[in-house]
Amino acid sequence: MNIFYVMSWYPDSPESIAGIFSKEQVHALARKYPEHNFGVYFWGNDDKSLQLWIRNPLENVFKIIRFFSRKPSKNQVKPNLTEYFFPALTWSQKIIYGNIFTQTQNAHKALVLFENQYGKPSLIHAHVGYKGGYIAMKLAKKHQLKYLITEHMGPFPFYNLIKNGNLFPRLMEAYQNSSLNIAVSAYLENEMKKFQIPNTTVIPNLIDENFFVPHTETNANQHFTFFSLSRLVKGKGFECLLLAFKLVVEKHPKTILKIGGDGELKSTLISLSQSYNLANHVIWLGNIDREEVRVNMQNCDAFVLASEYETMGIAYVEALACGKPIVATKCGGPESTVNTQNGFLAEVNQPKDIADKMILMIENYHLFDKDEIRNDFLKRFSSHVICEKLMQAYV
């Protein structure tokens, strides 16, 4: 079987995390099924040097000039896995649909390279309905192939993909013609069904169980340590989390909160934590790589994230893979992840409730068994389980 992927989001540098879950999924499939071939097309969606903004006309000129020195590239990751990068400028979809026609042409070129290398594709798998799903639909029609879409959008749909209560026509067209529309959580599937999207099913994102593993030694934290990880942007609930943590520290002064990630709200959040007298209790880690994420997951006592919405919530599941209990909010995806043996759910934007759940975690920590948490994760989110579900969907 030869499977060609169209990735709306895909890491284009070691520092980039946009679409990391899509990349890890394809790499896991290539490892597990060496008899099949996998090709990935992407165009640099997270590369700011390829993004043109109306408010920055002079900067756009320099970006366009530099763009002509960019060349397509091919990365042979494994004998059965190749990444095809065709850089493309992007801009607001209000203007010639954000250059989707160039991205579609480039996808065709990448597919031809894939076919020359491995043979005719068996199917096309797009990640995210727009633009990837639309591009996959055009490719599938041209090459007489079936295609399917995995949706990750959160909240669903993005505001610029809806008008007068209806989905953007090109997005809806992609769903309607797809042989299967995969949601990464039951919550997301329900949101998709509200727009009458057909042929839906649920297959979560996978977590590499060989990378995210429990610590081999018992933690020796002098303080109870919560770890949180996300971009420091609106919607991730850090203002609410800091207020909740203030209430936690008032009852349990020997408590630490480590926060990994960076973003536009970082300086505001640091000032807020100082105003709550949390300077000695909150540790700001900044951007951390995957190895540092694993270390912090392994060395914390529990993971916490107070998001306002999550289609799935990868970081929660990474914590479970390391045998750590979690405190999450009822923001979508976590309702399918959290159960009585692995953590607590709090109401969204309710600092008191979040604080209460964090205090419950501290005071009942002895009730959580890391082996039970790990085994439950393996049954639901491991690469072995998810890869098998994907291959069944491909047949």
Q: Where are the domains of the chain?
A: 2-203, 224-380
Cα(179)–Cα(307) distance, rounded to whole angstroms? Answer: 32
Does the pLDDT at position 200 exceed 90? yes
pLDDT digits (tens, 9 = 90+) for 304-313: 999 999 999 9
pLDDT digits (tens, 9 = 90+) for 164-196: 899 999 999 999 999 999 999 999 999 999 999
Count Cα atoms within 13 angstroms, Cβ side, for 283: 12
Does the pLDDT at position 92 exceed 90? no
CATH node for 224-380: 3.40.50.2000
Count Cα atoms within 13 angstroms, Cβ side, for 285: 20
In this prediction, residue 302 carries a pLDDT of 98
Contact 357, 330 (CB under 8 A): no
In this prediction, residue 218 carries a pLDDT of 66
Which whole number is the average pLDDT over 116-145?
A: 96
For residue 358, the 8-state DSSP code is H
Contacts by 57-63 with C-beta closer than 8 Å and gap 24+? 63/89
pLDDT digits (tens, 9 = 90+) for 308-360: 999 999 999 999 999 999 999 999 999 999 999 999 999 999 999 999 999 99
Torsion over CA: 23, 26, 28, 30 (sign): negative
In this prediction, residue 220 carries a pLDDT of 64
φ, ψ for residue 121, nearest 5 deg: -65, 145
Task: Give, for 88, the enclosing helix (H) or strand (E).
Answer: none
Dihedral, CA of residue 164, residue 166, residue 169 and residue 172, to nearest 10: 170
166-167 and 180-183 as β-strands: parallel, antiparallel, unpaired?
A: unpaired
Does the pLDDT at position 159 exceed 80? yes
Helix (H, G, I), strand (E, B) or coil at 185: coil
Q: 224-380: same fold as 2-203? A: yes
Cα(255)–Cα(223) distance, rounded to whole angstroms? Answer: 5
Closest to 301 measured CA to CA, from 253, 343, 350: 343
- Confidence bin at 96 (pLDDT 50/70/90): confident
Tokens 């669903």 sit at which residue?
156
pLDDT digits (tens, 9 = 90+) for 274-304: 999 999 999 999 999 889 999 999 999 999 9
CATH node for 2-203: 3.40.50.2000
Count Cα atoms within 13 angstroms, Cβ side, for 268: 10
Does the pLDDT at position 124 exceed 90? yes
Cα(274)–Cα(268) distance, rounded to whole angstroms? Answer: 10
pTM: 0.91
Helix (H, G, I), strand (E, B) or coil at 310: strand
Cα(111)–Cα(106) distance, rounded to whole angstroms? Answer: 9
In this prediction, residue 167 carries a pLDDT of 94
Q: What is the mean pLDDT of the chain?
A: 94
Does the pLDDT at position 217 exceed 80? no
Residue 303: strand pairing partners:
227, 326
Query: Which residues 6+ apart lie within 8 Å of 275 measured at CB?
Result: none
Does the pLDDT at position 15 exceed 70? no
pLDDT digits (tens, 9 = 90+) for 67-84: 999 999 999 999 999 999
Contact 156, 136 (CB under 8 A): no
In this prediction, residue 14 carries a pLDDT of 64
In this prediction, residue 219 carries a pLDDT of 65
Contact 116, 74 (CB under 8 A): no
Angle between helices 383-394 and 20-32 (to 10 degrees): 80
Tell whether omega for the bond before 131 is within 30 degrees of 0, i.e. cis: yes
Please report, in angstroms and rounded to a whole number, the separation of the first and last CA atoms in the chain. 9
Burial of 263-282, coded b for 16+ CB within 10 Å and e otherwise, reads eebbeebbebbeebebeebb
44 residue type, one letter: G
238 residue type, one letter: F
Does the pLDDT at position 116 exceed 90? yes
